[in-house]
Amino acid sequence: MRAEQLTVPCATHGEGPVWDEVADQLRWVDMMAGDVLTLTATGAITRQHVGSVAAALRPRAGGGLVVATERGFALLDPDGNVSVEVPAFADPRARMNDGGVDRQGRFFCGSMDFDMSDPLGVLYRLDPDLAVGIILTGVTVSNGIAWTRDGARMYYIDSATRRVDVFDYDVTTGIPSQRRQHVLVEVKAETNVPDGMALDADGGVWVAIYGGSEVRRYDADGKLDAVVELPVGQVTACAFGGDQLADLFITTSRQDLPADAEPAAGALFSVRPGVLGLPTGTFAG
């Protein structure tokens, strides 16, 4: 399959797409610009600045958004105003990166070393009552995170490991366990790094390959069975959305590229892969 370019290049570092089921719109971030982007029904893109970094976001059940900012979280009301800010850490060497919501409406987001070299990162959990918990430590580049339909398994990517790990997940406590006993995927090529991911309704795991110009689908046993090609190298994340979640939206980056390189980098792409997506849920806070 080959993805089609859906927008003009609109982000320096596009990341974290999510289908907002409450607003019926696709949202994503221009991460280091600190902006939330929204694709409207007319195909226009709106942009809202929320801070120095907008790392990841999810819709809130009552409307609005939860956004992971540089070192914490912000709640946006349905009008887009920041109503609450929740700090998570103070270390200036690190910032938030990718995140997601479990089936019970808890928002997880992981941090990373700005230099992407040391395991300074932590996977945090923001509960609906806005309490912040530490779930994993020793992370280098926290990236994709997703849960199976029943919530009993959690998929997670620390890009530095070049793996998609599978955890057992306790839906009552919100605690993952048994990591490394169930490695789903190992990405061997040194220039290809697993980044964001999405799950489909048939149990497939779609992984954006940063540096690899593609999104890969692995089945529930970790077998590669589909590839979506893109005309740019820095493919960052993917999410199902649109009618019946039939479209796969893909974000890209042009960060650190020469001005005349890869003219489509930073655009939003899409493909209709023939399977439906698994809903990602909303933050219950």
Q: Which of 195, 200, 221, 243 is catalytic?
A: 195
Residue type, 144: G
Contacts of 165 (CB under 8 A, 6+ apart): 155, 156, 157, 158, 179, 180, 182, 183, 184
Q: Which residue has the tokens 């890209």?
A: 252
Q: Which residue has the tokens 């999410």?
A: 239
Residue 195: active-site member = yes
CA–CA distance, 276 with 108 (Å, rounded to integer): 24
Q: How far, in Å, are 14, 30, 44, 68, 71 from residue 254 at the CA level? A: 8, 11, 20, 21, 23
Nearest Cα to Cα of residue 5 among 262, 243, 257? 262
Active site residues: 195
